[in-house]
């Protein structure tokens, strides 16, 4: 197993640099520049601005300089937030995005997986149809619709009631300010987990080893929990790998609507303002998390399915 992990990490390193390289050149190829939104300035001042951010150098040299700094943990200064470096902005936004994302992930697992199991054990029943109906609704309704709807209900219609919740902003960082963003983030993942769990659980219950366990007289609960459930979790874990990375790095839509100073909102602002270094920093963080979570998922396969082995041949 250790040799497999080392091999995967060695493969992940060039993959990471390919992603960062593609992002670097695509950002430069996009129309516009970081200073286009500024008021018209004399050419000499614009030249000084470009020189201050190393934009006056050839593109290949800019790329080489950026990669050297990035390896050292320096993502450069932000073009939009001129008093901060990209590393400082990520350090400020990462805890907020990670806290909301982790809470949404836990909520999605606690609700989505049991609902999917319940639907599978009651296939083609009223419970199954009801659960899957709600799941399809959660998938069909996007975050940019769900978030304003929740704000309308809990911040306006339920104003001056015990159920009133803040419409946005981090506030004092209390639980009330987290409820709506976390629920909005988790809703679509609850829906996907419920459907994935249901499908994989139904398939697992039809496997020969489950039929054999039941034929031997094992209690139905034991067959479900000890045999079918573990095997059914493989597709769920596959989905949770990239989902965890996306949740921990923040949602652009949710953080923008709820005015949360997380990584997702910084990414949106960086893209709109052609803040090259900020977009690059968030992209690099997201790519690293996705590569790490994919490795974690592959390692988890060996635990969930004894047929999976990563021993070096």
Among residues of the chain, what percentage have pLDDT more than 70? 95
pLDDT for 41: 66
Question: Where do the H-state alpha helices sit in the chain?
Answer: 2-29, 43-52, 59-71, 86-121, 126-140, 143-151, 176-205, 208-215, 220-222, 229-248, 252-257, 263-272, 276-304
pLDDT for 130: 93
Q: Which DSSP helix (H) or strand (E) runs through 275?
A: none
Please tell me which residue, 43 or 286, carries the higher pLDDT value.
Answer: 286
State yes or no: pLDDT of 311 exceeds 80: no
What SS3 class is residue 163?
A: coil
Among residues of the chain, what percentage have pLDDT more than 90? 28
Domains identified in the chain and CATH numbers: 95-264 (1.10.3720.10)
Mean pLDDT, the chain, whole residue set: 86
State yes or no: pLDDT of 18 exceeds 90: yes
Q: How confident is the model at residue 227 (pLDDT cuts 50, 70, 90)?
A: confident
In the block, tokens 């901060």 appear at 84
- Whether 112 and 194 have beta carbons less than 8 Å apart is answered as yes
Please tell me which residue, 160 or 111, carries the higher pLDDT value.
Answer: 111
pLDDT for 113: 93
Q: What is the pTM of this model?
A: 0.85
Q: CA-to-CA distance for 262 and 207, rounded, in angstroms?
A: 44
Cα Rg for the chain, rounded, in angstroms? 24
State yes or no: pLDDT of 278 exceeds 80: yes
Q: CA-to-CA distance for 105 and 90, rounded, in angstroms?
A: 21
State yes or no: pLDDT of 198 exceeds 90: yes
Q: What value does the mean pLDDT take over residues 88-96?
A: 89
Residue of 170, 169, 184, 172 whose CA lies nearest to 103? 184
pLDDT for 108: 94
State yes or no: pLDDT of 196 exceeds 90: yes
State yes or no: pLDDT of 313 exceeds 60: no
What SS3 class is residue 77?
A: strand
DSSP class of residue 39 equals: P
State yes or no: pLDDT of 177 exceeds 60: yes
Q: CA-to-CA distance for 254 and 105, rounded, in angstroms?
A: 15
First-last CA distance in the chain? 12
Name residue 77's beta-bridge partners.
85
Q: CA-to-CA distance for 300 and 304, rounded, in angstroms?
A: 6
pLDDT digits (tens, 9 = 90+) for 229-259: 888 888 999 898 889 888 888 788 888 888 8
Q: How confident is the model at residue 37 (pLDDT cuts 50, 70, 90)?
A: low
Residue of 226, 219, 201 whose CA lies nearest to 128? 201
Which tokens belong to 78? 């932000």
**Phi, psi angle pair for 275, to nearest 5°:** -80, 85
DSSP class of residue 169 equals: S
Most confident of 26-35, 154-163, 204-213, 297-306: 154-163
Q: How confident is the model at residue 73 (pLDDT cuts 50, 70, 90)?
A: confident
Q: CA-to-CA distance for 140 and 137, rounded, in angstroms?
A: 5
In the block, tokens 């049991």 appear at 114
């Amino acid at each position: 197993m250790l040799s497999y992990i080392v091999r995967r990490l060695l493969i992940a390193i060039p993959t990471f640099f390919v992603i960062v390289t593609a992002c670097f050149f695509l950002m430069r190829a996009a129309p516009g520049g970081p200073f286009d939104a500024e008021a018209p300035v004399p050419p000499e001042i614009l030249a000084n601005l470009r020189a201050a951010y190393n934009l006056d150098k050839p593109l290949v040299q800019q790329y080489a300089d950026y990669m050297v700094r990035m390896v050292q943990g320096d993502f450069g200064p932000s073009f939009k937030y001129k008093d901060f470096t990209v590393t400082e902005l990520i350090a400020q936004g990462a805890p907020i995005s990670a806290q909301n994302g982790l809470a949404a992930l836990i909520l999605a697992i606690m609700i989505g997986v049991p609902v999917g199991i319940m639907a599978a054990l009651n296939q083609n029943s009223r419970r199954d149809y009801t659960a899957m109906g709600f799941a399809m609704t959660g998938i069909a309704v996007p975050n940019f619709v769900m978030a304003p709807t929740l704000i309308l209900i809990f911040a306006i219609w339920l104003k001056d009631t015990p159920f009133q919740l803040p419409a946005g902003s981090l506030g004092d960082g209390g639980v009330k300010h987290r409820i709506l963003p976390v629920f909005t983030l988790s809703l679509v993942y609850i829906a996907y987990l419920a459907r994935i769990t249901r499908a994989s659980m139904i398939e697992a219950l039809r496997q020969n080893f489950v039929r054999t366990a039941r034929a031997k007289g094992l209690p139905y609960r034991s067959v479900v929990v000890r045999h079918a459930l573990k095997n059914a979790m493989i597709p769920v874990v596959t989905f949770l790998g990239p989902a965890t990375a996306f949740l921990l790095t923040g949602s652009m839509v949710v953080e923008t609507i709820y005015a949360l100073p997380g990584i997702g909102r910084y990414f949106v602002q960086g893209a709109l303002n052609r803040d090259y270094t900020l977009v690059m920093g968030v992209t690099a963080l997201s790519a690293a998390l996705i590569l790490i979570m994919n490795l974690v998922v592959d390692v988890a396969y060996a635990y969930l399915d004894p047929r999976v082995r990563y021993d070096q041949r």
